[in-house]
Amino acid sequence: MALLVARGDPFLAPLLSSHVFLLQFMDSILDCVKRNVADILFSKTYIHPHPRICEQNGLALPLEDAVETQQNWMAREDCLPGEDNFKNNRNPKEVYNVLDGLLKGNLERLKSMRESTDVAGMVDGGYNLVANHEDHEGILRNLCSEGKLGAALWLREKMIQRGAVPDIVSHNYLLGGLCRSGNLEKAGFLFADMLKVGPSPNTVSFNSYIMGYCRSNNVDGALYLLSSMVSCGVQPNRVTRNILVHALCKRGLLEEARKLLGQLVNEDNDKATSDLVASTILMDGYFKNGNVLEAVCIWDKISQEKNKMDVIAYNSFIHGLNSNGDMRSAIGAFCQMLKKGFHPDVFTYNTLLRGFYEGGKLCEASHVHSIMLLMGVAPDLITYKIIIRGLCAHGDVEKAYEFLKLMLEKSMVPDPSIWNCVIHCYGRCGDLGRALFVRDQMLAFGIAPNVFTYNALIDAQVKRENLSDAYLLKQEMQQNGLFADVVTYNLLIGAACNLGRTHFALWLYDEMLTRGCEPDIITYTELIRAYCVRGDLNKAERLFEKIQKSGIPINHVPLKILVNGYCKMGQLNLAFNLYKKWLSNWN
């Protein structure tokens, strides 16, 4: 503090941040060290005796102290053997002794000044410990929200060391962040610390920890936490039961979920009605398990509580009926939904559209789409994907492309799967030009083709017997950093076999193995056909035996090709023996 008074610099006022002062002081220390080193290493020491000149160089009273200290050290016999030796021989060891002393003194002075500055900042700056504690809690919560959990844990530890324990809200932020990131080990340590030191966990704390266990598929641990929750005197709420019911249904433990739901509802203070969310989750679990009867029973129970019904419950019921193929009941639930004054959302219409397209009812699907627009519900990306896929599946590629253009007009850029669907449908219909045009349009909108895009184009080329162009597409695919998969090779090998280019088919098979692509039953079937075309039935039969030993699921097609090959060559006995061998292996 004496240095502050001596310098009289206005920037060193107590209200100024201590960081600026420390930087200025360190700069002065470095200048001082440079001059002292120069004085020691050269024969003539130059230090201006006037204190104001020293002050202009960045150091006032401490420089005079440093010079005086240097002269005292130089006069000591244990430091310097003699004046002549210092002036003439320049012993490096003695020089470093002087430097070491100077640096130690300056560092000690810096440490004391930093401590005095911190104290002055807390006193003169008027820092409020309570406000500082609240600021730290806010910082801790922000760190948790940003996913910086390590820094948040460090800040919590420092706060506890200073006797300022964060509140329960801050701990819940931290516990929830750890559980969401899957770090249950640290979450467990934090939870145990809360039980031991405080603050005591509340319902939100237990729910976050239970959710963490459910996310990691550890339902047993979540149920154990539920029992601990009750023993600690913390009452489970509806969020608790929803989390546990969802976790049990996800694992297929529907009866356990139903029992737990009934138990928690009975223990709840609100016993008039069951929880709609938990009941909807349980109903959805029964639908996914194929138990439509139990799901409908739960729905009937929910329907009796008219004040508890909502759009999400209707959506779950309609989706469950649609998934189990009962579109008639799904339409009935949709009409009932409208009669009761509920407005279907985009999820409702998407469910109905998917059901109609999968059932091949294009007119009904078009009618639902019209109702959707009349009700003012805007189609989303999933809506267009369902419509385009449904139309392409039934060969109406031109109408599908109209919906694709409609998406582009609405600034909704389709994902690669939608583009690939239209390209594949054009190729399947034999319109290679339109398929390539859509591919170019895809590139123009910044969507990079993937393996499925190239496979669709290769399939279109193969259907037109353009084997060379199809292979060039495979080469282009590899140049773009994409690797051919088993579908790519199957298309090329099958085309080569159909065109009688068996050598090229076998070469593709070797390349396939070299690149680490595992053949499937389609690959082997095409190769057996290639060997039969060449008349090499022995290799074809050996390959057939290899398929049987490999454990690949096999059908009757390879056997049929081999039997036909033997029959064409007039070797009926070999064909019959092969058939008997296949029957024995099949049984």
pLDDT for the residue 276: 82
Examine the pLDDT at 523 and tell me if it is beyond 60: yes
pLDDT for the residue 255: 84
Given a contact cutoff of 8 angstroms between Cβ atoms, the answer to whether 551 and 543 are in contact is no
Q: Which of 15-24, 434-443, 513-522 has the highest mean pLDDT?
A: 434-443
- The span from the CA of 199 to the CA of 437, in Å, is 65
Instruction: Please give the helix or strand (H or E) that residue 493 lies within, else none.
Output: helix 486-498
Per-residue pLDDT tens digits for 64-114: 444 444 444 444 444 444 444 444 444 555 555 655 665 666 666 555 555
pLDDT for the residue 113: 53
**How many residues belong to the chain?**
587
pLDDT for the residue 567: 83
484-587 in CATH: which number?
A: 1.25.40.10
- The span from the CA of 4 to the CA of 22, in Å, is 11
- The span from the CA of 300 to the CA of 283, in Å, is 11
| Residues of the chain above pLDDT 90, percent | 35
Average pLDDT over residues 523-532: 87
> CATH 1.25.40.10 spans which residues of the chain?
129-235, 484-587
**Which residues contact residue 201 at a Cβ distance below 8 angstroms, ignoring those fewer than 6 apart?**
168, 171, 191, 194, 195, 209, 232, 234
b/e for 109-126, b at 16 or more Cβ within 10 A?
beeebeeebeeebeeeee
Burial class (CB in 10 A: 0-12, 13-18, 19+), 583: exposed
Average pLDDT over residues 490-500: 90
pLDDT for the residue 315: 94
CA–CA distances in Å: residue 337 to residues 208, 280, 314, 424 = 35, 16, 7, 38
pLDDT for the residue 57: 43
pLDDT for the residue 63: 39
* DSSP 8-class letter at 163: T
Burial class (CB in 10 A: 0-12, 13-18, 19+), 176: buried
CATH topology of domain 129-235: 1.25.40
Average pLDDT over residues 254-271: 70
pLDDT bracket for residue 233 (50, 70, 90): confident
- The span from the CA of 197 to the CA of 160, in Å, is 10
- Indicate the range of 118-122, 254-258, 328-332, 492-496 predicted with least confidence: 118-122
pLDDT bracket for residue 457 (50, 70, 90): very high
Q: What SS3 state is found at 13?
A: coil
- The span from the CA of 207 to the CA of 214, in Å, is 10
pLDDT for the residue 53: 40
Average pLDDT over residues 425-447: 92
Supply the mean pLDDT for the chain. Answer: 79
pLDDT for the residue 484: 92
Per-residue pLDDT tens digits for 396-417: 999 999 999 999 999 998 999 9
pLDDT for the residue 36: 59
b/e for 30-47, b at 16 or more Cβ within 10 A?
eebeebbeebbeeeeeee
pLDDT for the residue 103: 63
- The span from the CA of 459 to the CA of 464, in Å, is 9
- Indicate the range of 102-111, 224-233, 294-303, 482-491 predicted with least confidence: 102-111
- The span from the CA of 450 to the CA of 448, in Å, is 6
